[in-house]
Homo-oligomer: A and B are copies of this chain.
Amino acid sequence: MAATKKCVSIVGATGLVGSEVARILHLRAFPIRDLRLFSSGRTRERETTITGRAFPIVPFALEALGEPGICFLAAGGDFARRYARQIAARGHVVIDNSSAFRMADDVPLVVPEVNPRHLVGHKGLVANPNCSTIQMVMVLSPLARRWGLKKVVVSTYQAVAGAGLAAAGELATHSQARLDGRDLPPRAFLDRIAFNVIPRIDAFDGDGWTGEERKMMNETRKILDDRSLSVIATTVRVPVFRGHSESVYAQFERDIDLSEVRLVLEGAAGVEVVDDPAAGKYPMPVDCAGKEQTFVGRLRLDPDFSRGLCMWIVSDNVWKGAALNAVQIAEILP
């Protein structure tokens, strides 16, 4: 029996995440009756091509949404704060990629492989977690279920794709300029991204943490349903086009066993273990673009603490970190 076809709308359809949502819906043969694409007002494009077929893009308006269905928002926090609840009030299920509602008590924050049960009883608004959070909980969750998670210390190596299309262009043009011996002033970033690393993503709070770091710390607790979990994040932008990497050190409640860690991760949905140092195999951003999995490798036991584990986690931040996860939420909506 074919799945019931749904009405689907995407707001921010010309952006990096919105256009990938459209493409992934097609690739995964999501049952769509009516697809409507909207710009959020920041673009003048009138049409977009999804896997060879042209779709019109119109400026967003509540009245243009059509009959109740699934509405993907990939239009930023300001747009979401203004419209998300209004769209939900019209009977649509909103899946918002921004951070606007992620920590709201009545909004589930969902990674389908990790906490699908949080979708039960949703009120029409579901939040897609932060990219760096998603790939980390994909790996931590199965381990937490087995050994109980106490503390996580994570340092990220985040690609420019997470900062939008202009950021990717800036990495290319500014890298070329540097290779030609020229310096261009940063625009999409606050600092030079070419051949540099920037230990800052998002704004700082009064305690010196960035917004991105707080997202990883707070969202991980919410998704794993563990308000007492300690998460310490340092988020860093690196000159990579696509694919976030994370160096994660985790402490558990009970002694861990490395061969069992491998088994648990090999059996985890959406996770692929790439960990064969002798063969030179470990996850890298260059290998993850356009892949659905979250890759984990460099598994090492803390030599000084039998409950400590080091890992290296890589995933396509635009796919599993954003567009793919949003589509997967739509696929399992109750």
A residues sitting closer than 8 Å to B (CB atoms) are 151, 153, 155, 157, 171-172, 175-176, 179, 190-192, 195-200, 204, 207-209, 217, 230, 232, 234, 236, 238-241, 245, 247, 249, 275, 277-278, 280, 282-286, 297-305, 308, 310, 312
Contacts and interface: CB of A to CB of B under 8 A. Distances in A.
A248 to B, nearest CB: 9
Given A175-B179, A301-B207, A236 B196 contact: no
A195, A204, A282, most chain B CB atoms within 10 A = A195
5 contacts: A175-B175, A196-B284, A199-B297, A207-B300, A232-B310
Number of this chain's copies in the assembly equals 2
A263 to B, nearest CB: 16
Contact of A280 (B179, B190, B284): B190
A59 B247 CA distance: 43
B240 A195 contact: yes
A247 to B, nearest CB: 4
Contacts of A312: 199, 234
A201 B93 CA distance: 47
A302 B209 CA distance: 10
Contacts of A285: 196-197
Contact of A304 (B151, B199, B310): B151
B236 A239 contact: no
Given A204-B278, A207-B303, A199 B284 contact: yes
A87 to B, nearest CB: 35
A254 B223 CA distance: 32
A192 B286 contact: yes
A277 B203 CA distance: 9
Given A199-B245, A204-B278, A232-B249, 5 more contacts: A175-B175, A195-B239, A200-B277, A230-B302, A234-B249
Given A200-B282, A234-B310, A282-B200, A298 B208 contact: yes
